[in-house]
Amino acid sequence: MLNNATPHKTTQTILQQTIIEQTKVFVRNKLENEGTGHDWWHIVRVYNTAMLITKHEPGADIYAVSLAALLHDIADWKFNDGDLTAGSKIAGQWLAGCGVQTDIIEHVQDIIETTSFKGAGVATPMRTLEGQIVQDADRLDAIGAIGIARCFAYGGHKNRPLYNPEQPPVMHANFETYKKSDGTSVNHFYEKLLLLKDRMNTATAKRLAQERHAYMEQFLATFMREWGGRE
């Protein structure tokens, strides 16, 4: 008896790869000229990091990971009046138009709505391994050297001061207060970025976060030394 599973699987794999490539074009067209650090190249880095983590975390659906990584910032809540569903709605419409099956669309939408950091006092647990991988990849891009650059790019976009020693960081207890945050760029390190190392999900991301976290600590120590005019 002939086994028809292999040809079917090959056809399905080709179709999935085609949709992934189409999604890359769609997202690039939407975000290429974005200037706050949530641009197309942020998506590329998150996608590549998610693929790296997937290699070391067996059992993940690489198709769902790919689509969620590519679409996770298609309409960030920070630029849509705090609407956490803005991105998932656009992603859902796009994927439905591509003929993606409903369960995959719903999975990707769930990941998009849950990925973002929502305040120091807010837990954002991911329900699936695929979600954990995308969330980790996104958080890794928020720390380290690139995370520092993105922090100040976003702060400049929001007209926020670099630092004000008279304005202490705030550990936001809920999403509503976090959305209204207007702290300095340096405060953002203490309110979010330095917290991310201990909020990674996968062993791979936890390992990668160590060096990036240490780099931020070194940067802040140097910043404060220069700020204070010390040797």
Q: pLDDT tens for residues 85-106?
A: 889 999 999 999 999 999 999 9
Q: Give the integer Cα–Cα distance in Å for 211 and 143.
A: 10
Q: What is the pLDDT of residue 4?
A: 44
Range 118-145 average pLDDT: 95
Please provide the average confidence, as pLDDT, over all residues in the chain.
Answer: 92
Give tens-digit pLDDT for 148-159: 999 999 999 999
The dihedral through the CA atoms of 51, 53, 54, 60 has a sign that is negative
| Rg of the chain taking only CA atoms, in angstroms | 19
Q: What is the pLDDT of residue 11?
A: 87
Range 72-76 average pLDDT: 89
Q: What is the pLDDT of residue 207?
A: 98
Range 70-89 average pLDDT: 82
At position 211, the amino acid (one-letter code) is E
Give tens-digit pLDDT for 9-40: 688 899 999 999 999 999 999 999 888 889 99
- Per-residue pLDDT at 213 exceeds 80: yes
Q: What are the domain boundaries of the chain?
A: 5-227
Q: Give the integer Cα–Cα distance in Å for 76 and 23.
A: 17
Range 207-217 average pLDDT: 98
Q: What is the pLDDT of residue 79?
A: 62
Q: Read off the pTM.
A: 0.92
> In CATH, what class is 5-227?
mainly alpha
Q: Are 112 and 180 in contact (CB under 8 A)?
A: no
The band of 3, judged by pLDDT with boundaries at 50, 70 and 90, is very low
Range 137-145 average pLDDT: 98
Give tens-digit pLDDT for 35-71: 888 999 999 999 999 999 999 998 999 999 999 999 9
> Quick check: helix, strand or coil at residue 29?
helix
- Per-residue pLDDT at 167 exceeds 80: yes
The band of 84, judged by pLDDT with boundaries at 50, 70 and 90, is confident
Percentage of the chain lying above the pLDDT 70 cut: 94
The band of 8, judged by pLDDT with boundaries at 50, 70 and 90, is low
DSSP state letter for 141: T
